[in-house]
Structure 1
Amino acid sequence: MARKLPYHLLDVFTDRRFCGNPLAVVEGADELTATEMQAIAREFNLSETVFLQSPQDPVNSARARIFTPQKELPFAGHPTIGAAALLAETRAGDILARSDVVIVLEEEIGALRCEALRGRNGVTYAQTALPAAPRKIGESPAREALAAALSLTPGEIGFGAHVPTIYSAGAPFLFVPLQSREALDRARRGPTFADAVGEAIGAFLYTHDTVDFANAIHARMYAHGLGIDEDPATGSAAAAFAGVAHEFERPDDGEHELFIEQGYAMGRPSRITLRMTVENGALAVVAIGGQVVRVGEGALRL
């Protein structure tokens, strides 16, 4: 007899259906093997699929395992935000209607405390703080090598104090600042892209030339080794970007909020909220958040 597992389809980092980053959330996944989860993720063929299992610590809400079509990840932003919003709606909808709901997800990088709230527009917003500040990893390739890898010229790379760098908040990204949105829209993978990205799971291209003046940066993320080409909203990269912003913008002590727009080139405009608290010149708290809309649900037959 076939097993049936419920799943939900969500759009994350948006308040509109068919925008943002699509996500599949599979519930009741305790008995699934890693091989089965990987096969299901390939079947959905989204940038990530999250599988919810019983928590190892019963005080927490769930254990979350995150798979791209090609590999498992220790942390990813839009699965975390999407799963937290979904659990708040399905397990505590009455409470969510009048106050915030706390969801704790066990992931490989640690237990993530997520807060969900219902916005004035009726859309659920969720955010999570990272267990540790982003860390810088190694050295990025030379500007000339990056230009060749992205089909650009060396002069189009870098602006202000920003230069290419590699940061990780659970998953490493190569951050490439570009002079303009026109250059970012024109960027393409060159034959040396894989060599330039190296061990990072993607190249996060960004510019201050935004579509919406209220946003701080406009970005694209070309994935590497994940089974997808481009991601419409990358929460783990946004979390790691806190390290980039702290290094090159030198924010004063206190709380800071910036918005990252992404996905426009894919026809899936997205908005990620990045919050940073700086104490004594160091990053003390980093949190990401965004809105989540439910698109559909069904059952897997296994």
Structure 2
Amino acid sequence: MRAFRFVTVDVFTDRRFGGNQLAVFPDARGLSDAEMQSLAAEFNLSETTFVLPPEKPHNSARVRIFNRVAEMPFAGHPNVGTAYVLGREDEASPRTYRFEEPAGLVEVALLRDETGRVLGAEVAAPQPLRVGAELPVSVAAACAGLSKDAIVTARHVPTLATDGGNPRLLTEVTREGLTAAAPDLGAFRRAVEAYPDQTRGFLSLYLYCRDGAQVRTRMFSPLTGTWEDSATGSAATPLAGFLLSLDGGDDGAWEMLQGVEMGRPSLLLAGARRTPEGIRARVGGHCVPVLRGEAVL
């Protein structure tokens, strides 16, 4: 029998049972790929992370992120929550972690209060913004269970974008549409079949309604088992970068509120800036510990 310690935290919130849940295995040495995937499926959360020694000694750790069905190259709230767990276990830890992940090297800065206690973290997307294909309004509307009138196209049509994680279909909607949206699994499957080159077998829909620097969002990814996500850092960063690309200027910051309709309100503090290599984004927030235990295999 082998035992592996885990911690669960709520990410992008300052109160327990809000935000997005995450399970973290701070020392995953000895776990196989199949065991990591099985544990992620067993926890049945949007993501579970496994911390391993870095391949290069000047980095902090190698972090592997699994959703219910597959490993992910990068994700936002798992990086924030993992850094928080490691920082809370060692309050003398460095301010910034460097995590090795399939999408590249990920930098995560700890957020502390005036006494130095770790409150959360901020993660920088590992790659510059990449804007992909546009999909028809009818596709986004069908996936969200909305009429086409609920999709706002004054500034852009539904557009795929990423900065290291899975591509998200960024779709602006009316406030009423945001409240009424409900994912249609059949529509997601039809969209992937109709647009194989653009979606590559995966489709995640990120709806948003904007009021200046305040943004309300919802994220649906039923093809990976996440019917709705309460906080999606790897969608908030491409959205921040995309908004900056639309607005112009050198930098911008937005407060993104997600998870309200699920009863798990989350606050994601996102920002983006222009760099010589493109638009770079970041997202941060607070975390709250919830459970500790062991997985016995």
8 A Cα contact 1:257 1:275, kept in partner: yes
Q: Residue 196 in 1 paired to residue 198 in 2?
A: no
8 A Cα contact 1:159 1:179, kept in partner: no
* Aligned-partner Cα distance in 1 for 2:230–2:120: 18
Cα displacement (A) at 1:159: 5.0
TM-score of the two chains, using structure 1 as the length reference: 0.88
Structure 1 alignment gaps of length 5 or more: none
Structure 2 alignment gaps of length 5 or more: 193-198
Residue identity in the other structure for 1:59: H
2:268 aligns with one of 269, 272, 289: 272
Q: Which position in structure 1 is the counterpart of 2:9?
A: 10
* Aligned-partner Cα distance in 2 for 1:127–1:107: 16
Deviation string, structure 1 residues 2-39 (Cα, Å, up to 9, x no partner): 11111001000011111000000012212211111110
Q: Which position in structure 2 is the counterpart of 1:103?
A: 97
Structure 2 residue matching 1:149: 3-state secondary structure:
helix
Structure 2 residue matching 1:137: 3-state secondary structure:
strand
Cα displacement (A) at 1:279: 5.0
Q: Which position in structure 2 is the counterpart of 1:117?
A: 111
Which has the larger displacement, 258-267 or 270-279? 270-279
Which has the larger displacement, 48-57 or 121-130? 121-130
Q: Which position in structure 2 is the counterpart of 1:183?
A: 177
Deviation string, structure 1 residues 54-76 (Cα, Å, up to 9, x no partner): 11112222111001111110000
| Matched ranges for 1:214-293 at <5 A | 216-250=214-248, 252-253=249-250, 255-279=251-275, 283-293=278-288
| Matched ranges for 1:21-170 at <5 A | 21-91=20-90, 93=91, 95=92, 101-119=95-113, 124-140=119-135, 142-158=136-152, 160-170=154-164
Q: Specify whether residues 31 and 216 from structure 1 end up closer, same or farther in structure 2 by C-alpha distance, changes over 3 A only.
A: same
Cα displacement (A) at 1:249: 2.2
Q: Percent same amino acid at aligned positions?
A: 37
Q: Specify whether residues 279 and 50 from structure 1 end up closer, same or farther in structure 2 by C-alpha distance, changes over 3 A only.
A: closer
8 A Cα contact 2:37 2:70, kept in partner: yes
* Aligned-partner Cα distance in 1 for 2:241–2:160: 9
Structure 1 residue matching 2:127: 3-state secondary structure:
coil
Structure 1 residue matching 2:191: 3-state secondary structure:
helix
Q: Specify whether residues 175 and 10 from structure 1 end up closer, same or farther in structure 2 by C-alpha distance, changes over 3 A only.
A: same
Deviation string, structure 1 residues 182-231 (Cα, Å, up to 9, x no partner): 2112112233222336444410011126xxx9x62101101143222111
Residue identity in the other structure for 2:20: N
Q: Specify whether residues 120 and 261 from structure 1 end up closer, same or farther in structure 2 by C-alpha distance, changes over 3 A only.
A: farther
Cα displacement (A) at 1:283: 4.2
Which has the larger displacement, 29-38 or 116-125? 116-125
RMSD: 2.1
